[in-house]
């Protein structure tokens, strides 16, 4: 087994400490940072500004590694999905959703294998948490995606296909905050990957005590999975609401550092037939967010075998959206993306590949829209 340490995932200070441990000065860390995160180089022998002797010393102690793509699928609409395998055999999915009109798009990244939460409408929620992903595995998902699109060295801001990051994959990012924060700080670093915090959105089911830290330390855009306007319904479909009820959640939203009219927070709302989709629900939603710089994302429910829910009728989703828009809010209905490759929320990762394939066939045959993705706010399924 390769005992060498992976340099990916170390923050700037950790890289300096790592170099000190092998008797090297801090400038070495700066030099490496450029090769690792701006150039995307994985081979020390090609780091030409570093002496041959030093290259050999680095290679003796370290490797530069991404997660391995165990599977990769490309949708007819350009959406691409990777199943990444980590060193211990665990897997998670990453999805790239290109913008259909422009040369840009969002990479949707997972933060955990599985999830400790048990939202009733989410297939990931039916599986237990396996483990948190490390910072290397989180930023590594983005770096591997960039490898696929050949976007090294880091292109300037205007010329990127992979222009945005959404933390909307498997898992609850605020329950793995330290690793997510390390990974996002690496991604945001202007001398490396260089994705501005304005182009990063983190989605949370409402982990109230972590929201302020997220805003203060990372300053990324926040998306809140609201999905219900009363504690009664939210308790039922999102058990985290019993711990952090709506009033507390809305208070934390109001206190979120950096939210402004120019930078609105997103409220995600999955449309569940007869559960949360009435005109009265829409009006109550308006009352809840009053005074907040908010926008909405209405997600048609993505059904999965055994679920108790159905997707709302399109007419009801439109009525809901109209009520919000008539009051001056942006409230788009997410269009399905990547449906032919199951780039959708709601696949059990513990299922065998064969079971997944047969379900894909069933779904396509039944014409079930299995996806609620839309760039740049796309969720990812459990693989």
CB of 188 to ligand SF4, least distance (A): 23
Which segments of the chain are extended strands (E)?
Answer: 5-6, 62-63, 68-74, 80-85, 91-98, 105-108, 112-113, 131-132, 164-167, 200-204, 221-225, 265-271, 294-300
CB of 91 to ligand SAH, least distance (A): 17
**201 vs 225 by CB, closer to ligand SF4:** 225
Q: Dihedral (C-alpha) 38, 40, 42, 45: value to the nearest 10 degrees?
A: -60
Cα separation, 197 vs 144, in Å, equals 20
- Which residues share a beta bridge with 266? 223, 295
The verdict on 176 binding ligand SF4 (CB under 6 A) reads no
CB of 223 to ligand SF4, least distance (A): 11
**What DSSP letter does each residue of 6-36 carry, written as one string?**
E-TT--HHHHHHHHHHTT--HHHHHHHHIII
Site string for ligand SF4, 142-171 (x = CB under 6 A): -----------------------------x
Task: Name the CA radius of gyration of the chain, rounded.
Answer: 21
Catalytic annotation on 310? no
Instruction: Quote the distance between the C-alpha of residue 111 and its chain's center.
Output: 7
Q: Which does 376 bind (CB under 5 to 8 A by kind): ligand SF4, ligand SAH, none?
A: none
**What DSSP letter does each residue of 138-161 carry, written as one string?**
HHHHHHHHHHHHT--SPPPGGG-S
Among residue numbers 189 through 208, which ones bind ligand SF4 (CB under 6 A)? 205
Q: Binding ligand SF4 by CB under 6 A: which of 42, 79, 124, 154?
A: 124
Q: Binding ligand SF4 by CB under 6 A: which of 16, 32, 119, 188?
A: 119
**10 vs 174 by CB, closer to ligand SF4:** 174
C-alpha dihedral sign at 319, 321, 322, 323? positive
| Interacting residue ranges for ligand SAH, rule: CB under 6 A | 119, 121-122, 168, 172, 203-205, 225, 268, 270, 299, 301-302, 345-346, 372, 379
Cα separation, 207 vs 278, in Å, equals 26
Catalytic residue among 41, 91, 93, 172: 93
Q: Which does 133 bind (CB under 5 to 8 A by kind): ligand SF4, ligand SAH, none?
A: none
Question: Burial of 74 by CB count in 10 Å (0-12 exposed, 13-18 middle, 19+ buried)?
Answer: middle
Other CB atoms closer than 10 Å to residue 278's CB: what's the count? Answer: 15
**40 vs 303 by CB, closer to ligand SAH:** 303
Cα separation, 206 vs 243, in Å, equals 10
**115 vs 285 by CB, closer to ligand SF4:** 115
Catalytic annotation on 345? yes
**37 vs 142 by CB, closer to ligand SAH:** 142
**64 vs 200 by CB, closer to ligand SF4:** 200
CB of 47 to ligand SF4, least distance (A): 38
**161 vs 312 by CB, closer to ligand SF4:** 312
The verdict on 229 binding ligand SF4 (CB under 6 A) reads no
- The verdict on whether omega for the bond into residue 376 sits within 30 degrees of 0, i.e. cis, is yes
> Which residue is closest to ligand SF4 by CB?
125
Query: Near ligand SF4 by CB under 6 A, which window of 19-27, 121-129, 192-200, 289-297?
Result: 121-129
Query: Near ligand SF4 by CB under 6 A, which window of 42-50, 74-82, 117-125, 324-332?
Result: 117-125
How do the residues of the chain divide into helix, strand and coil, expressed in percent and rounded to 5? 40, 15, 45
Decide: 340 and 370 in contact? Cβ < 8 Å.
Answer: no
Binding site for ligand SF4 (CB under 6 A): 115, 117-119, 122, 124-125, 171-172, 205, 225
Catalytic site positions: 93, 345
């Amino acid at each position: 087994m390769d005992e060498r340490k992976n340099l990916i995932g170390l923050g700037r200070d950790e890289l300096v400490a790592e170099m000190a441990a092998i008797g090297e000065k801090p400038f070495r860390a700066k030099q490496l940072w450029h090769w690792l995160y701006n150039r995307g180089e994985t081979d020390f022998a090609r780091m030409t500004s570093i002496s041959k002797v030093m290259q050999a010393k680095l290679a003796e102690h370290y490797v530069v590694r991404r997660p391995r793509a165990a599977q990769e699928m490309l949708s007819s609409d350009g959406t691409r999905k990777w199943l990444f395998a980590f060193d211990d055999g665990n897997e998670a999915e990453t999805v790239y959703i290109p913008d259909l009109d422009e040369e840009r798009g969002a990479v949707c990244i997972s933060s955990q294998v599985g999830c400790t939460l048990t939202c009733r409408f989410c297939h990931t929620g039916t599986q237990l948490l396996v483990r948190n992903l490390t910072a290397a595995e989180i930023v590594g998902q983005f770096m591997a995606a960039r490898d696929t699109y050949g976007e090294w060295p880091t292109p300037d801001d205007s010329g990127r296909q992979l222009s945005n990051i959404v933390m909307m994959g498997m898992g609850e990012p605020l329950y793995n905050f330290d690793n997510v924060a390390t990974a996002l700080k690496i991604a945001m670093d202007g001398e490396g990957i260089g994705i501005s915090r304005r182009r990063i959105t983190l989605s949370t089911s409402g982990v109230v005590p972590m929201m302020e830290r997220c805003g203060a330390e990372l300053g990324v855009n926040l998306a809140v999975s609201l999905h219900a306007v009363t504690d009664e319904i939210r308790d039922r479909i999102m058990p985290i609401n019993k711990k952090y009820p709506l009033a507390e959640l809305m208070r934390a939203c109001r206190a979120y550092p950096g939210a402004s009219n120019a930078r609105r927070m997103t409220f995600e709302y999955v449309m569940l037939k007869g559960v949360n989709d009435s005109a009265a629900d829409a009006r109550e939603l308006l009352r809840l967010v009053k005074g907040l710089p908010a926008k909405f994302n209405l997600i048609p429910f993505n059904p999965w075998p055994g679920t108790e829910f159905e997707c709302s009728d399109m007419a009801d989703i439109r009525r809901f959206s109209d009520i919000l828009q008539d009051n001056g809010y942006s409230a788009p209905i997410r269009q399905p993306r990547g449906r032919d490759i199951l780039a959708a929320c709601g696949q059990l990762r513990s299922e065998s590949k064969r079971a997944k394939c047969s379900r894909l066939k069933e779904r396509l045959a039944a014409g079930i829209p299995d996806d609620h993705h839309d760039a740049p706010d796309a969720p990812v399924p459990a693989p």
